[in-house]
């Protein structure tokens, strides 16, 4: 058994990780944490194999609401900077991974995921061919600390803090809140933001289950820096033109070399990778929201040639821009 545990602890990618869990799950007591399978020592290596999702939210958006009906779960283990509220129905037997938690879900599922927390759903033993999934995602600074520190928002603040480890809501709560989540895209503008706040407030008053172990939080990606935020804001405004390392470094009063090291340490990405991810976020939204050609979108998002755009897009998102656009044809996404 000791050798088996060593083998499990050496698992470096989520597919091996899942296979080993299925093979050895019987050796773990019900209350033991899955952290023994997905040990923290391998987190840095695992991070290279886990997809960073680029959500097509611009700084001017409050949140996005994406509803679809599908036959299976096929999105890999991933993480992103935004909060995510995910409602799933008719998917009994599917497997959910959040941080170091692995569970088989029931026919109704409602989970809140904090920024940069690894998560995914897998078909596993789900027999349904009509899985409904509604995903609401919003910027982590939509409700900033100064706003959440107000007395009336204390419960919501606590909800967000617990979401750093992932939260699962009881089945009855998922059933009660389902209609409001489904109809969130039917409200417009300010009313929809108020409704999202109201939903979050109601959820903050419920008994919830924290999913991941406290030691599993991806602190490497929890950067908090005025310089980084200033650089991100500048790149988000100027993504459609050539932006150099030198001009951004000058903006935050650093030398080129110092800023290059600084952004790599804070975000885990190089300057050019960070800029490209911002450009891809805008490009993704254009692919969903407009009928512009891929070439037009490439040019409008600051890429100097379409071949480079296609290559970077496929590397970061796992599909071509055309394939990405087609994948949204069967669902509806609204940006607020």
Same domain flag for 32 and 128: no
* Single residue among 11, 29, 47 that ends a domain in this structure: 47
Residues 170 and 55 in one domain: yes
How does DSSP assign 9-32, residue by residue? HT--SHHHHHHHHHHHGGGS-TTS
Question: In which domain, by residue range, is 37 found?
Answer: 2-47
- Please report the pLDDT score of residue 51 as a whole number: 84
- The per-residue pLDDT for 217 is 61
Same domain, 99 and 18: no
pLDDT attached to residue 34: 40
- 260: three-class secondary structure by DSSP: helix
Residue at a domain's end among 174, 191, 216: 216
**Do 147 and 37 reside in the same domain of the chain?**
no
Q: What is the pLDDT of residue 256?
A: 96
Quote the number of domains for the chain: 3
Contact 235, 278 (CB under 8 A): yes
Give the pLDDT of residue 5.
38
Q: How far is 318 from 51, CA to CA, in rounded Å?
A: 9
Structure tokens at 315: 């590397």
**DSSP at 91:** -
Residue 38 is predicted with a pLDDT of: 40
**Residues 115, 196: one domain?**
yes
- Strand-pair category, 83-89 with 95-98: unpaired
Q: What is the rounded CA–CA span in Å between residue 291 and residue 135?
A: 23
Same domain? For 256 and 270 the reply is yes
Q: Are residues 192 and 279 in the same domain?
A: no
Residue 92, domain CATH = 2.60.120.10
Same domain? For 114 and 234 the reply is no
Those residues whose C-beta lies under 8 Å from the C-beta of residue 245, and which sit 6 or more positions away, are 256, 259, 260, 271, 272
CB within 8 Å of 229: residues ≥ 6 apart: none
User: Which of 181, 216, 251 is a domain's end point?
Assistant: 216
pLDDT of residue 201: 97
Show the CA angle centred on residue 41, arms to residues 221 and 27, nearest 5°.
Answer: 120
**What ranges make up the beta strands (E) of 187-259?**
209-210
Residue pLDDT tens, the chain, 336 long: 333 333 334 333 444 455 545 544 444 444 334 433 343 333 443 445 588 888 888 888 999 999 999 999 988 899 999 999 999 999 999 999 999 899 999 999 999 999 999 999 999 999 999 999 999 999 999 998 899 999 999 999 999 999 999 999 999 999 999 999 999 988 878 999 999 999 999 999 999 999 998 766 655 454 567 898 899 999 999 999 999 999 999 999 999 999 999 999 888 889 999 999 899 989 988 988 889 999 999 999 999 899 999 999 998 887 899 988 887 776 777 888
Q: Are residues 117 and 83 in the same domain?
A: yes
Residue 169 is predicted with a pLDDT of 97
Q: Pairing relation of β-strands 95-98 and 167-168? A: unpaired
Check which CATH number belongs to the domain holding 319 and give it: 1.10.10.60
Do 123 and 205 share a domain, yes or no? yes
Do 240 and 290 reside in the same domain of the chain? yes
- Same domain? For 72 and 33 the reply is no
């Amino acid at each position: 058994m000791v050798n088996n545990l060593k083998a499990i602890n050496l698992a470096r990618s989520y597919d091996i990780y899942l296979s080993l869990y299925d093979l050895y799950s019987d050796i773990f007591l019900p209350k033991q944490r899955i952290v023994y399978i997905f040990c923290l020592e391998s987190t840095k290596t695992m991070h290279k194999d886990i997809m960073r999702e680029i959500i097509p939210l611009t700084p001017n958006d409050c949140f996005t609401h994406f509803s679809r009906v599908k036959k299976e779960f096929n999105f890999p283990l991933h993480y992103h900077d935004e909060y995510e509220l995910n409602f799933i129905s008719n998917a009994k037997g599917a497997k959910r991974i959040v941080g170091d938690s692995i569970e088989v879900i029931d026919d109704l599922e409602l989970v809140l995921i904090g920024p940069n927390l690894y998560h995914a759903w897998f078909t596993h033993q789900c027999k349904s061919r009509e899985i409904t999934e509604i995903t609401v995602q919003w910027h982590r600074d939509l409700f900033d600390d100064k706003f959440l520190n107000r007395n009336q928002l204390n419960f919501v603040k606590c909800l967000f803090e617990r979401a750093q480890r992932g939260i699962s809501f009881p089945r009855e709560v998922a059933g009660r809140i389902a209609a409001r989540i489904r109809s969130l895209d039917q409200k417009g503008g300010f009313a929809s933001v108020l409704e999202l706040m109201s939903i979050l407030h109601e959820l903050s008053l419920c008994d919830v289950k924290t999913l991941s172990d406290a030691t599993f939080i991806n602190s490497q990606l929890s950067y908090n820096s005025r310089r980084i935020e200033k650089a991100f804001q500048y790149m988000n405004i100027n993504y459609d033109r050539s932006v150099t390392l030198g001009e951004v470094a000058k903006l935050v009063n650093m030398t080129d070399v110092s800023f290059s090291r600084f952004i790599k340490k804070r975000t885990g990405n190089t300057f050019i990778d960070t800029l490209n991810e911002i450009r891809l976020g805008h490009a993704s939204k254009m692919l969903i929201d407009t009928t512009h050609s891929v070439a037009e979108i490439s040019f409008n998002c600051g890429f100097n040639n379409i071949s480079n755009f296609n290559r970077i897009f496929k590397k970061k998102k796992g599909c071509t821009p055309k394939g990405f656009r087609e994948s949204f044809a069967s669902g509806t996404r609204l940006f607020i």
